[in-house]
Amino acid sequence: MSVLVGKKAPVFSAEAVVNGGEFVDNFSLEQFIGKKHVVFFFYPLDFTFVCPTEIIAFQEAMHEFEKRNCAVVGCSIDSKFSHWAWLQTEKKNGGIKGVKFPLVSDLSKTISENFDVLAGDWDYNDNGEALFNGAPVAYRGLFLIDKAGVVRHQVVNDLPLGRSIDEALRMVDALQSFEENGEVCPANWHKGKTAMKATQEGVAAYLSSN
């Protein structure tokens, strides 16, 4: 598993569905450079079980991400048509109708490979036939990308393990706090709490006051 933190996020241009039902042919995260932070997350498949709980939870928290000037973008290996159909399906029927943030189609699996979240890999048998080992879907990867297009945080969950949207928001807060104040964020830091200077004196002052 690659560690992308501190590196430029892989560049891609792909089909996507935006605003709950509009097709876009050349969606790219580069549109946010210099403008917004981005939470870019992968999920395994449309029309599954844990995935809609995550996607709907992101949508329910969109006002919080928007307050932080942070875009949220989802991605799976499904086609744009599958995304569109899922977005038109009522929640009571297992759909995600009402979700407005972009869902990227990684039908070729190249985006998942470049972010190193594909839950398997290709190999060849003795006859030279291509075989896929593992699951040809993405793990639940999440990448926090700053305005310069650099990955500043990543976390990857196995397929059965749903992620925490509150933690994603906390990491956005932590990054923005550091960018604005130059102070580092200690363990269990939340917005509104005291950060600290990255010096021995700063650590001592923080620990003595908590």
Q: Quick check: 209 pLDDT over 80? A: no
Q: Is 70 tagged catalytic?
A: no
CATH class of 14-162: alpha beta
Listed by start position, the domains of the chain span 14-162, 164-210
Q: Quick check: 202 pLDDT over 80? A: no
- pLDDT band at 203; cut points 50, 70, 90: low
Would you state the structure tokens that stand for residue 170, as one six-digit string? 């906390």
For the residues of 108-132, what is the DSSP string, one character each? TSHHHHHTT-EEEEEEE-TTS-EEE
Give the Cα separation of 187 and 192 in Å (integer): 14
What is residue 90's predicted lDDT score, i.e. its pLDDT? 97
Could you say which of 51, 70, 75, 185 is catalytic? 51
* Contact (CB, 8 A) for 27 and 18: yes
The runs of H, that is alpha helices, within the chain are 50-60, 62-67, 80-88, 110-114, 165-181, 200-208
